[in-house]
């Protein structure tokens, strides 16, 4: 089941993020110490932002096992046509079951319904599975930011990708 998350899901959201960071911090873009430093109130606020911002969660046996989110860059009318796709994560225990695909599809449908015409994202590389997933939806690489994050003294680039949902 996929549904939109809300403030009541903050603890589950935090648990999933910790599991993912423990497994591999590169896709998360944060160290475990950074993730642990995030207060639960911040997650509650993040899950309560007004529409069209939304975080979607995939549940298996009442457990949150994956997420995908859409957020506006800001509320200025000049940029309300574009959004950021972020937080596309699936528990390592539930991968290879098309959950990421279903979550991204739900987030993009939500963005389209909200009148968003362009969705952008960043993939920290190496992460060929994520790049391939987004390319299968029609996302195109629009640039590469060198040394986007530094984890344990190692630098990782960020591949910028973009998708037009309809003609502006």
Q: Is residue 64 part of a domain?
A: yes
β-strand partners of 145 = 158
Q: Where are the alpha helices (DSSP H) in 24-155?
A: 25-28, 32-36, 40-46, 99-113, 128-136
User: pLDDT of 109-147, one tens digit each?
Assistant: 999 999 999 999 999 999 999 999 999 999 999 999 999
- 135's tokens: 């390319």
The CATH code of the domain that includes 91 is 3.40.630.30
Q: Is residue 148 part of a domain?
A: no
User: pLDDT of 81-98, one tens digit each?
Assistant: 999 999 999 999 999 999
User: pLDDT of 29-54, one tens digit each?
Assistant: 999 999 999 999 999 999 999 999 99
Q: Is the CB of residue 26 less than 8 Å from the CB of residue 156?
A: yes
Q: Is residue 140 part of a domain?
A: no
Q: Is residue 58 part of a domain?
A: yes
Number of domains in the chain: 1
Task: Give the pTM.
Answer: 0.94
Domain assignment of residue 29, given as a range: 2-119
């Amino acid at each position: 089941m996929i549904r939109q998350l809300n403030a009541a899901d903050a603890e589950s959201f935090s648990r999933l993020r910790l599991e993912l960071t423990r497994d591999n911090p590169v896709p998360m873009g944060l160290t475990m110490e950074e993730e642990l430093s995030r207060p639960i109130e911040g997650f509650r606020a993040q899950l309560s932002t007004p529409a069209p911002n939304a975080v979607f969660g995939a549940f298996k046996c009442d457990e949150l096992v994956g997420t995908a989110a859409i957020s506006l860059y800001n509320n200025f009318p000049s940029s309300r046509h574009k959004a950021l796709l972020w937080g596309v994560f699936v528990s390592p225990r539930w991968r290879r079951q098309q959950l990421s695909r279903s979550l991204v599809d739900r987030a993009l449908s939500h963005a389209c319904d909200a009148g968003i015409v362009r969705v952008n994202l960043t993939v920290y590389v190496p992460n060929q599975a994520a790049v391939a997933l987004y390319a299968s939806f029609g996302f195109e690489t629009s640039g590469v930011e060198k040394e986007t994050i530094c984890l344990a003294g190692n630098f990782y680039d960020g591949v910028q990708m973009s998708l037009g949902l309809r003609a502006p």
